[in-house]
Amino acid sequence: MALSGKSLFRRFSRTFFCATVVAVVFALATGSEWNVVAASFKSHAHHKAHVYPLTGFGGYQSFGAVTQVSAQWVVPSFVSQRVLGQAATWVGAQNSGNKFIQLGVIVDCPAWAETSYDVFWSDTAKGYLPQFVGRIFPGDQVSASMVQNKRGWFLKFRDPSIKFSYAKEVKYAKGVSFTDAEWLQEDPAPANISAQDVPYPDITNVKFTKLKVDHRTPELTLDDGQTLSANGGAIRVPTPVRHDSFTFVRPKGVAEQYLVDARKVDFAENTFNAQLARWKSFSKQARSRHVKKLLMAFRAGAKEFKTQTWPPPTRRDVSYLVTSLDHDATNLKAWVRSGYKNEGSGLTTFEDGYIEGDRLMNTVRALLNLPPP
């Protein structure tokens, strides 16, 4: 999942099961959609590694000053019990300085117990672990609101169907500025270091309504959105925001083709990211095997993109993405030849063409009416 900007920078992401501290990240493969490794070797010397798929979030973000964020939605229902797993729907606020708070609903369908629908909140101080505050039911219309005050954040959740109401002042991040409001559907990760998220259950698509940030309806475009690519095969694309609402749809046609292709390479890179977090524990032979599998994924991805049929407006940029994947493989081999160094020519080779590749990837997605990754 490509991130814009420099390839060496600090990035904070959120999930309620993984402790997601600010991690140093670097571009593994340049100019493609799949070019971020979520923990560099340097970061391992000073931080506990937290690695998980960044494709497990779908919805919208509003960037700018945030002192209030809220929304309503209907708690999703199970379409079938075909897939057991977990999903979460929430509103949240964060900043680039490792401050984060969220409020929402977790849907849990484990194999060993009955399905549950729990209201929760969490923040950085709680280690991102869910603080459960009540049980509700599928099909209920609920509302969640978070307002920053002088002491921290005031959280309020309501489910009129069962006359459930929860309010709490969380004394957290006093006086801290938040810069990112979020309305997200999540497939959570099961551990601090994970190559894939937990299975995503077969549930109805969530529809967020009455979006508010700082008590105003945000102006959001697809550039502010992101696609959920969940474990188990579900891909959910957020619809354009109309007035103050959006939902999710299953992609069709070439949009689905593109996202399915992307997920195959994403999975290979996510696996490598988790391996990289434990890199020092691997032998030279094991490292070689891990790199070889990622190289094969880059090459297979390039071949698949090249041999498929694409709409005329996208063909040129898709061909550039194919070239970028080929370059990814070349750059990965250069890093291997450098002895896996986190500085110098090996890493520099990784970084070449990163910004251009990010632009190409976003161009293709826009032409397919898809939000950025």
Q: Supply the pLDDT for residue 80.
A: 83
State how far the Cα of 338 lies from the Cα of 328, in Å rounded to an integer.
15
Q: Supply the pLDDT for residue 324.
A: 86
CB atoms within 10 A of CB 90: 25
Q: Supply the pLDDT for residue 12.
A: 26
Q: Supply the pLDDT for residue 28.
A: 28
Query: Minimal CA–CA distance to 346: which of 24, 32, 30?
Result: 30
Spatial CB neighbours of 284, under 8 Å, sequence gap ≥ 6: none
Q: Supply the pLDDT for residue 41.
A: 29
Residue 46 · residue 15 · CB < 8 Å: no
Residue with tokens 């354009």: 240
Q: Supply the pLDDT for residue 89.
A: 98
State how far the Cα of 183 lies from the Cα of 72, in Å rounded to an integer.
10
State how far the Cα of 251 lies from the Cα of 242, in Å rounded to an integer.
18
pLDDT tens per residue across all 373 residues of the chain: 222 222 222 222 323 332 222 222 222 222 233 333 322 223 323 345 578 888 899 999 999 999 999 999 999 998 887 788 999 999 999 999 889 999 999 999 887 778 899 999 999 999 889 999 999 999 999 999 999 999 999 999 999 999 999 999 999 999 999 999 999 999 999 988 899 999 999 999 999 999 999 999 999 999 999 999 999 889 999 999 999 999 999 999 999 999 999 898 889 989 988 998 888 899 999 999 999 999 999 999 999 999 999 999 999 999 988 988 888 888 888 888 888 876 666 556 655 545 566 677 788 888 899 998 7
Domain extents for the chain? 9-52+255-367, 57-251
Residue 246 · residue 238 · CB < 8 Å: yes
The dotted CATH code for 57-251 is 2.60.120.700
Q: Is 102 exposed, middle or buried (0-12, 13-18, 19+ CB in 10 A)?
A: buried
Q: Supply the pLDDT for residue 33.
A: 33
Strands of the chain (E only): list them: 9-11, 23-25, 57-66, 68-74, 85-94, 100-109, 116-123, 131-135, 141-148, 153-159, 164-170, 178-186, 209-213, 225-226, 228-229, 235-238, 248-249
**Three-state secondary structure along 265-321?**
HHHHHHHHHHHHHCHHHCCHHHHHHHHHHHHHHHHHHHHHHHHCCCCHHHHHHHHHH
Q: Supply the pLDDT for residue 3.
A: 21
